Structure 1
Amino acid sequence: MWQINKQDKKPLYQQITSQIIQAIQQGQLMPGDKLPPERQLAQSYEVNRSTVVRALEELVSLGWITRKQGSGTRVAQGRWGSRQLLMNQWRSLLSSPFLKEDPYVSELKQKQNTVDTLDLYTGDLPAELIPDFEFPAITWEQVLYEEKKIHPTGYLPLKQHLLNHLAREFALPTKGQDLLITSGSTQGIFLLIQVLLDTGSYMATEDPSFLFALPLFASLGIHLIGIKQDDEGIDCQELEHAIQTKKIKLLYLNPNYQNPTGRTMSLVRRKEVVALCEKYHLPIIEDDVFHELGFTEALPSLKSLAPDQVIYVGSLSKIFGSTIKIGWLLAPQTLITSLASAKKRMESETDLFPQLLATAALTSTNYEQKQTQLLEELRHRSQNFEHVMMPLAADWSYAPIQGGLYYWLTWRHQTLTRKDWQLFLEENLLTAPAFLFSNETMSVRINYTRLSTAQLALFQQTLMRITERIRKDAVYE
Structure 2
Amino acid sequence: MWRLTTDSKLPIYLQIVDLIETKIMNGELLPEEKLPPERKLAAILGVNRSTVVRALDELTARAVIVRKQGSGTIVNAEKWGLFAGQSTNWRHYLTQGGFTPSVPYARQAGIMEKDLSAKVIDAATGELPLEMTPKLETPSLSWQSFIAEEQLEDAAGYQPLRVTIEQQMKTSYGLKTRSEQILVTSGAQQALFLITQCLLKPGDAVAIESPSYFYSLSLFQSAGLRIFALPMDAEGVVISELKELYHKHRVKMVFVNPTFQNPTGLVMSLQRRKELVKVCAHLQIPIVEDDPFSELAALDATIPVPLKQLDADNVLYIGSLSKIMGSTTRIGWLIGPAAVIERLALARNEMDFGLSIFPQVLANAVLNTVGYDAHLKQLQQILLERRSYLVAALEETLPNKLIYNKPEGGFHLWVKLPVEFRSIRDFDVFANNNLLIMPGFLFGVKEPMIRITFARLSEREATEVAQIIKRIILAKQ
Q: TM-score, normalised by structure 2?
A: 0.86
**Aligned mates of 1:127, 1:22 — CA distance in 2:** 34
Q: Which residue of 1 aligns with 2:428?
A: 422
Q: What is the aligned partner in structure 2 of residue 113 from structure 1?
A: 114
1:250 partnered with 2:256: no
Deviates more, 1:318-327 or 1:333-342: 333-342
Question: Hey, what does 2:476 align to over in structure 1?
Answer: 470
User: What SS does the corresponding residue of 1:372 show, helix, strand or coil?
Assistant: helix
- Residues 142-291 of structure 1: pairs in structure 2 closer than 5 A: 142-174=145-177, 178-291=181-294
Q: In structure 1, how many angstroms separate the alpha carbons of the residues matched to 2:392 and 2:458?
A: 13
- Decide which moves more: 269-278 or 408-417: 408-417
Deviation at 1:77, TM superposition (A): 2.9
1:330 counterpart residue number:
335
What is the correspondence of 1:4-23 to structure 2 with a 5 Å cutoff? 20-21=20-21
Q: Provide the C-alpha distance between the structure 2 equivalents of 1:65 and 1:394, rounded to a whole number of angstroms.
A: 39
Task: Give the Cα–Cα distance (whole angstroms) in 2 for the partners of residues 297 and 338 of structure 1.
Answer: 36
Amino acid at match of 1:465: R
CA distance in 2, matches of 1:354, 1:26: 30
1:379 equivalent among 349, 368, 384: 384
Paired residue secondary structure (1:353) = helix
* Contact 1:314-1:328 within 8 A present in 2 as well: yes
Q: In the alignment, which residue of structure 1 is the partner of 2:398?
A: 392
Aligned with 2:355 (options 328, 350, 353): 350
Secondary structure in structure 1 of the residue aligned to 2:209: strand
Partner of 1:475: none
- Counterpart-to-counterpart distance in 1, 2:108 and 2:345: 38
Which residue of structure 2 aligns with residue 474 of structure 1? Answer: none
**Equivalent pair of 1:78/1:437 in contact (CA under 8 Å):** no
Check 1:433–1:79 CA distance in 2 against 1; reply closer, same or farther (3 A cut): farther
Q: Does structure 2 conserve the Cα–Cα contact (< 8 Å) formed by 1:204 and 1:226?
A: yes
- Residue 15 of structure 1: how far off its partner (Å): 7.2
Other structure's SS at 1:404 match: coil
What is the aligned length? 463
CA contact (8 A) 2:211 2:263 kept: yes
Q: What is the aligned partner in structure 2 of residue 104 from structure 1?
A: 105
**Kept in 2: contact 1:79–1:439 (CA 8 A):** no
| Residues 39 and 245 of structure 1, relative CA distance in 2, 3 Å threshold | farther
Structure 1: distance between partners of 2:245 and 2:450:
27
Question: Which residue in the other structure is 1:136 paired with?
Answer: 139
Question: Deviation at 1:223?
Answer: 1.7
**Cα–Cα, structure 1 residues 274 and 96, in superposed 2: closer, same or farther, change >3 Å?**
closer
Read off the aligned partner of 1:249 and give its amino acid letter. Answer: K
- CA shift in 2, pair 1:365/1:247, >3 Å: same
Q: CA shift at 1:158, angstroms?
A: 1.4
For residues 27 and 191 of structure 1, do their structure 2 counterparts lie closer, same or farther at Cα, with a shift above 3 Å needed? closer
Q: CA deviation at 1:61?
A: 5.1
Which residue identity is paired with 1:365? V
**What secondary structure sits across from 1:106 in the alignment?**
helix
User: Which amino acid is the alignment partner of residue 106 of structure 1?
Assistant: R
Structure 2 residues not aligned, in runs of 5+: 95-99
Distance 2:386 2:76 in 1: 36
Match of 1:30 in 2: 30
Q: Report the Cα offset of residue 16 of structure 1.
A: 6.9
SS at structure 1 position matched to 2:304 = coil
Q: Would you say the 8 A contact 1:416–1:441 is kept in 2?
A: no
Partners of 1:416 and 1:442 within 8 A in 2: no
The one-letter code of the counterpart of 1:427 is N
Cα deviation for residue 154 of structure 1 reads 1.7
Is the Cα contact below 8 Å between 2:196 and 2:220 reproduced in 1? no
Question: What RMSD in Å do the two structures reach over aligned CA positions?
Answer: 3.3
C-alpha distance after superposition, 1:60-86 (max 9, x if no partner)? 553433467897754333449x96545
How many angstroms does 1:29 deviate by? 4.3
**Do the aligned residues in 1 keep the contact of 2:27 with 2:101 (CA within 8 Å)?**
no
Q: 1:320 to 1:25 in 2, by over 3 A?
A: closer
Query: Higher mean Cα deviation, 135-144 or 174-183?
Result: 174-183
Change in Cα spacing, 1:24 to 1:147, as seen in structure 2 (3 Å) is closer
Distance 1:160 1:25 in 2: 40
Partner of residue 413 from structure 2, selected from 407, 410, 416: 407
TM-score (norm 1): 0.86
Q: How does 1:34-113 map to 2 (within 5 A)?
A: 34=34, 59-60=59-60, 62-66=62-66, 74-79=74-79, 84-85=83-84, 89-90=87-88, 93=89, 97=93, 100-113=101-114
Letter in 2 for 1:377: I
Provide, for residues 95-125 of structure 1, a one-character-per-residue CA deviation record: whole Å limited to 9, x for no partner. Answer: 9658852222232222112331111111111
Say if 1:43 and 1:137 are closer, same or farther in 2 by CA, change over 3 A: closer
What does the per-residue CA deviation read over 1:198-254, in whole Å, with 9 as the maximum and x for residues that have no partner? 122222111122122122322221222221222221122221121122121111110
Secondary structure at 2:255 match in 1: strand
Counterpart position of 2:97: none
Give the superposition deviation at 1:141. 2.8
Match of 1:313, SS state, is: strand
Helix, strand or coil at the partner of 2:181: strand
Counterpart CA distance in 1 for 2:367 and 2:391 is 32
Taking the aligned partners of 1:158 and 1:235, their CA distance within structure 2 comes to 36
Report % sequence identity. 36
TM-aligned CA deviation for residue 47 of structure 1: 6.1
Paired with 1:357 and 1:372, the residues of 2 have a C-alpha distance of 21
**Which secondary structure does the structure 2 equivalent of 1:203 belong to?**
strand
SS of match in other structure, 1:112: helix
